[in-house]
A and B are shown apart, each in its own frame.
Chain A
Amino acid sequence: DGGITQSPKYLFRKEGQNVTLSCEQNLNHDAMYWYRQDPGQGLRLIYYSQIVNDFQKGDIAEGYSVSREKKESFPLTVTSAQKNPTAFYLCASRPLAGEDNEQFFGPGTRLTVL
């Protein structure tokens, strides 16, 4: 089955620790995205990547870092510089060619800072 997997589903972090959220897709999509969702709010773009070894900052990139070493993988690191990291994180991917240009989303990772 093709799709997007995110792990872990739940993540707990102590203050001052860096944590990495995994996102893998087997849809052969070119572009991948990371969003943050806070309770009762919409999605805010953190980072996105259109091609391997290249990525761009979204609207709220401060305190986060990403890498895109493989087409299938787009991990997100939440650093200690992120002041309020408790949120729901969603990864998405999409093709950049063709008519089906919607984003496909993973199941999300809920991060809680203790």
Chain B
Amino acid sequence: AQKVTQAQTEISVVEKEDVTLDCVYETRDTTYYLFWYKQPPSGELVFLIRRNSFDEQNEISGRYSWNFQKSTSSFNFTITASQVVDSAVYFCALEVYNFNKFYFGSGTKLNVKP
């Protein structure tokens, strides 16, 4: 069975602080994809990153970085120097190869205060 756990329901930080959003996944399959999406107050989910199970290289994109560790089944997301515009709900998702279904975590609501 597949499962994604985002244990942090809500996080509040002050602008310019760094914040890490945790994502732990479960799957017995060896080929899978992991995703992060951002859902701003408008409601539409915005794709942030995709990582396949054979690529454990960490990725940095501007203020965003992702840490993928198969040993701990985690795919954590860090925002450096957070900004008010980062306030949103962030979802982690898992897809097993060729299964064509995404398993979403329950999301982490990030509040960035000025």
Question: Which A residues fall within an 8 A CB radius of B?
Answer: 31, 33, 35, 40-43, 45, 48, 50, 58, 88, 90, 92, 96, 101-108, 110
Nearest chain B CB to A80 CB, angstrom units:
25
B72 adjacent to chain A (CB < 8 Å): no
Beyond A48-B101, A50-B100, is A43–B44 a contact (Cβ under 8 Å)? Answer: no
Beyond A90-B45, A107-B43, is A45–B107 a contact (Cβ under 8 Å)? Answer: no
A45:B100 contact, CB within 8 angstroms: no
Complex contacts, B64 vs chain A, CB 8 Å: none
B106 adjacent to chain A (CB < 8 Å): yes
Contact with B105, one of A33, A42, A88, A107 (Cβ below 8 angstroms): A42
Bound-state CA distance A45–B103 (Å) is 9
Closest Cβ neighbor of B44 among chain A residues:
A107
Bound-state CA distance A46–B91 (Å) is 18
Complex contacts, B104 vs chain A, CB 8 Å: 35, 42-43
Other contacts beyond A42-B106, A90-B45, A102-B50: 16, CB < 8 A = A33-B102, A42-B6, A43-B91, A45-B101, A45-B102, A48-B100, A101-B33, A101-B50, A101-B95, A102-B47, A105-B37, A105-B45, A106-B44, A107-B43, A107-B44, A108-B44
